[in-house]
């Protein structure tokens, strides 16, 4: 969006959902039930502060520090908190590690559960019916749509987030990255590789 309708008064320009949300915000604000400035802070937090860069730092640290990787396996919530990533939709974390034998994929078939504290807000496709319906029955077909073809004998483990545990996939470390710093490694870790719909980038 090139400009912010919220601060203008041209209701006739708004599409129905924009008008509906603005009406709700107006009603709640005038009744003193919400603070619109709190909304600004929430939006800023998830636009600029909490995103997949958090998760990428967790993965890069696990790749470069076996002690941290072991901690992440045993108690992901605590290990991730040690890097400063805590809070809403990351209260109960589990890290699942891709191996030569097994590829992990995360879905929430019932709603949109997603590890916000390490990946930020989920993409639209993660919350939409095509992914939620097919990830548990045809994950190879789903992965093909992301440009990922796994060997036929590679096992796939799909984690359906039906409770309050939130899953972070730790992709396999790409070859040719020996001696790389954690910061450089983090650049190889994509959001999709931490959902399982992608792999880590190859070393350039």
Partner 1 sequence: MNGPHDLGGQMGFGPVAPEKDEPYFHAEWEKRALGVTLTAGAMGAWNIDESRHARECLHPADYYASSYYEIWIKALETLLKRHDFVTANDLAAGDAVDPAATPKRVLKAENVPAVLAKGGPCDRPVEGVPLFALGQRVRTRNFHPTGHTRLPRYARGKQGVIDAVREGFVFPDSNAPGQGEDPQRVYTVVFTAGELWGEGADPSLEVSIDAWESYLEPA
Q: Which two tokens stand for residue 196?
A: 């399982």
* Under rule CB under 8 A, residue 109 binds partner 1: yes
Q: What is the dihedral of CA 159, 161, 167, 173, to 10 degrees?
A: 30
Is residue 88 left, alpha or beta, with left meaning phi > 0 and alpha meaning psi from -120 to 50? beta
* Under rule CB under 8 A, residue 132 binds partner 1: yes
Among 134, 172, 174, 187, binds partner 1 (CB under 8 A): 134
Residue 64 C-beta: closest distance to partner 1, Å: 26
Buried b (16+ CB within 10 A) or exposed e, 28-58: eeeeeeeeeeeeeeeeeeeeeebbbebbbbb
Number of amino acids touching partner 1 (CB under 8 A): 86
* Under rule CB under 8 A, residue 184 binds partner 1: no
* Under rule CB under 8 A, residue 10 binds partner 1: no
* Under rule CB under 8 A, residue 70 binds partner 1: no
* Under rule CB under 8 A, residue 187 binds partner 1: no
Q: In the complex with partner 1, which residue's Cβ is closer, 185 or 192?
A: 192
Q: In the complex with partner 1, which residue's Cβ is closer, 134 or 187?
A: 134
Residue 168 C-beta: closest distance to partner 1, Å: 15
64 classed as catalytic: no
CA 165/CA 89 separation, integer angstroms: 9
Q: In the complex with partner 1, which residue's Cβ is closer, 140 or 174?
A: 140
- Residue from 2, 64, 82, 108 carrying the catalytic annotation: 108
* Under rule CB under 8 A, residue 26 binds partner 1: yes
Stretch that binds partner 1, among 55-63, 65-73, 147-155, 176-184 (CB under 8 A): 147-155
Q: Which two tokens stand for residue 70?
A: 């072991």
Buried b (16+ CB within 10 A) or exposed e, 163-198: eeebbbbbbebbeebeebebeebbebbbbbbbbbbb
Q: Which two tokens stand for residue 26?
A: 């107006």
Closest to 187 measured CA to CA, from 97, 63, 83, 53: 53
112 classed as catalytic: yes
The catalytic residue positions are 108, 111-113
Which residues does the annotation place in the binding site for Fe(3+)? 108, 111-113
């Amino acid at each position: 969006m090139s400009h912010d309708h919220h601060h203008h008064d041209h209701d006739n320009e708004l599409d129905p959902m924009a008008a509906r949300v603005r009406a709700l915000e107006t009603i709640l604000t005038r009744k003193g039930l919400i603070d619109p400035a709190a909304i600004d802070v929430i939006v800023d937090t998830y636009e600029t502060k909490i995103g997949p860069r958090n998760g990428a730092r967790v993965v890069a640290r696990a790749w470069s520090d076996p002690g941290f990787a072991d901690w992440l396996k045993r108690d992901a919530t605590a290990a991730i908190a040690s890097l400063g990533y805590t809070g809403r939709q990351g209260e109960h974390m589990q890290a699942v590690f891709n191996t030569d034998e097994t590829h992990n994929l995360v879905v929430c078939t019932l709603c949109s559960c997603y590890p916000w504290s390490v990946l930020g807000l989920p993409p639209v496709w993660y919350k939409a019916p095509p992914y939620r319906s097919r990830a548990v029955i045809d994950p190879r077909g789903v992965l093909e749509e992301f440009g990922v073809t796994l060997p036929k004998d590679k096992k796939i483990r799909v984690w359906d987030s039906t409770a309050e545990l939130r899953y972070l996939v730790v992709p396999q470390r790409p070859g040719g990255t020996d001696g790389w710093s954690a910061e450089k490694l983090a650049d190889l870790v994509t959001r999709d590789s931490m959902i399982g719909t992608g792999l880590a980038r190859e070393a350039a």
